[in-house]
Amino acid sequence: MPPRDTRRPDRVAEAVREEIATIIAEGVKDPRVTGFVTVTGVEMSRDLAEAMVFVSIYAEEPARTDTLEGLQGIAPTLRSRIGRALRLRLAPRLTFKLDDSIARAARIDALLNSVKPADPAPEGTGSGGLEPGDANG
């Protein structure tokens, strides 16, 4: 029996991510899917039967929830398209989950930018080092 390819779920996950991103970019017919949707990642089960699809949705909160529900609603259609496009014997069941890491990072960045930086010491003062021309240097 050949050794089990442990990288296959990762390769299939990346292919599924690309395919879903392409389908969403082309436009989906569910009116609940609004805002800017980015597929940030996919985690596959070892048997390739389940795929957890992480999405970032740039929209206000009610629209974000509606978009996530809309994506879950079109999951069976996406599943069949992915199965055909990737020529998988069994297309994975898709579950969508909101990935808020991008929003968290943007919030942290905004907080860091809002903190006023301390005034740096003027050059040549308070450095604790020797100045050019010092006799002991």
Q: How far apart are CA 71 and CA 59, in angstroms?
A: 14
Could you tell me which residue, 11 or 5, shows the higher pLDDT? 11
Residue 36 half-sphere exposure, CB side, CA atoms within 13 Å?
Answer: 3
Q: How far apart are CA 48 and CA 74, in angstroms?
A: 19
In the structure, what pLDDT confidence band is assigned to residue 70 with cuts at 50, 70 and 90?
very high
Could you tell me which residue, 81 or 137, shows the higher pLDDT? 81
Q: Which domains does the chain have, with CATH numbers?
A: 8-113 (3.30.300.20)
Alpha-carbon dihedral sign for residues 58, 64, 68, 70: negative
And the tokens for 48? 């390739």
| pLDDT of res. 59 | 84
| pLDDT of res. 18 | 95
